[in-house]
Amino acid sequence: MEIREILKSLREKHHLTQKQLAERVMVTRQAVSRWENGETQPNSDTLELLSKEFNVSINTLLGSPRILVCKCCGMLLNEDDLISHEPDGSFNENYCKWCYADGKLLEESEDNKEDENTDFFYEALLSNVENIIPQDDDWFAPLIGDWDFDYYDGLENKEPRHVVGEWIFRKILEGSIVEDMFICPSRKERKIHPQDDGEYGVAIRKYNFEEHCYNMVYSTKDYMIHVDWKKEGDNLVGYVVEIPSNRFIFSDMDSKTFQWTNIQLLENGKIKTLSKIIARRKNKSF
């Protein structure tokens, strides 16, 4: 939508006349009319007032011409309710609401500071995100950020094993690659409930422009696999090159949760679920 259409739609949604809106942002009714006719556009000061009035970001008012990413954690800010605010109520489009509030960056809790070397590692690799991956194929964008998860395996048993873990996703190399760090059990949990077969790995997902998919390399200290990711409906399906009968599936993805499943295709045509993950975006404690 163009800015003239967005402004008119927001005004009508808030049941305001052109005169009423003009009074609230300190312009004339004729100025509002010219905006909605596409003759002129609000200046930067007026855009800030309109942003506060309608509680939407300036980027949304302008038709979302920019891809907004939190400069602290790398989270994709594709919804206004994810964007931080200044003390006066205006949007700060540089940070998510979990990293910035009350006019300052929020410090991490002691639990999140316990492994600073890891934090420095992935922050050093993080680059400013440019629109290198085509927007329609930027499938992993909703996952960018830090996640806690519940991992389950041995699902055929009466009491499946449950392990608490964490998963960290970042875009690197000017946004051309999605990197993630898989930590199971989590850094905190492994001190309390260590697992002999705990898994700690790193994945690199490179967008394939020719085939419109992602080629991934995943490695732990013990093994390495290659996975080709394709979009099938609303799900992301990973085909394991070394084990053709195995699939990894991301499903039910939004800004706050996602699910991951590891399945095996059996010779009789049935599907066996080997393990699954239910993830939720980290709620940082400050």
Q: What is the CATH number of the domain that holds 26?
A: 1.10.260.40
Q: What is the pLDDT of residue 65?
A: 61
Share of the chain above pLDDT 70, in %: 88
Based on the fold, state whether residues 135 and 80 are members of the same structural domain: no
- 286 located within any domain: no
Q: What is the pLDDT of residue 286?
A: 32
Show the CA angle centred on residue 136, arms to residues 98 and 2, nearest 5°.
80
Based on the fold, state whether residues 124 and 204 are members of the same structural domain: yes
Based on the fold, state whether residues 49 and 90 are members of the same structural domain: yes
Lowest model confidence (mean pLDDT) among 10-19, 88-97, 142-151, 170-179: 170-179
Over residues 205-223, the mean pLDDT reads: 92
pTM, entire model: 0.57
Domain count, the chain: 2
Q: What is the pLDDT of residue 113?
A: 44
Based on the fold, state whether residues 69 and 133 are members of the same structural domain: no
Q: Domain limits at 73? A: 3-105
pLDDT category at 221 given cuts 50, 70, 90 is confident
Written as six digits, the tokens of 164 are: 């608490």
- 236 located within any domain: yes
Look at residue 129 and tell me whether its pLDDT is greater than 60.
no
Based on the fold, state whether residues 162 and 261 are members of the same structural domain: yes
Q: What is the pLDDT of residue 116?
A: 46
pLDDT category at 16 given cuts 50, 70, 90 is very high
Q: Which of 52, 80, 105 is the last residue of a domain?
A: 105
- 243 located within any domain: yes
Summarised one tens digit per residue, pLDDT across range 157-211 is: 999 999 999 999 988 877 778 999 999 999 888 888 888 888 999 999 999 988 9
pLDDT category at 12 given cuts 50, 70, 90 is very high
Over residues 120-135, the mean pLDDT reads: 56
Q: Distance between CA 16 and CA 45 in Å, rounded?
A: 20
Of 233, 174, 169, 235, the residue nearest 205 (C-alpha): 169
Based on the fold, state whether residues 144 and 244 are members of the same structural domain: yes
- 146 located within any domain: yes
Q: Which of 85, 105, 125 is the last residue of a domain?
A: 105
What is the residue-averaged pLDDT of the chain? 86
Summarised one tens digit per residue, pLDDT across range 37-71 is: 988 888 888 888 998 999 888 888 888 666 677 77
Look at residue 247 and tell me whether its pLDDT is greater than 70.
yes
How far is CA 89 from each of CA 25, 78, 79, 155, 215, rounded to the nearest angstrom?
15, 19, 17, 48, 42
Q: What is the pLDDT of residue 67?
A: 67
Q: What is the pLDDT of residue 29?
A: 93
- 186 located within any domain: yes
Based on the fold, state whether residues 240 and 166 are members of the same structural domain: yes
Q: Which of 60, 75, 105 is the last residue of a domain?
A: 105
Which CATH number does the domain housing residue 135 bear?
2.40.128.20
Based on the fold, state whether residues 79 and 157 are members of the same structural domain: no
- 78 located within any domain: yes
Based on the fold, state whether residues 73 and 154 are members of the same structural domain: no
Lowest model confidence (mean pLDDT) among 114-118, 147-151, 222-226, 271-275: 114-118
Based on the fold, state whether residues 54 and 164 are members of the same structural domain: no
Based on the fold, state whether residues 162 and 194 are members of the same structural domain: yes
Lowest model confidence (mean pLDDT) among 194-198, 231-235, 282-286: 282-286
Based on the fold, state whether residues 249 and 263 are members of the same structural domain: yes
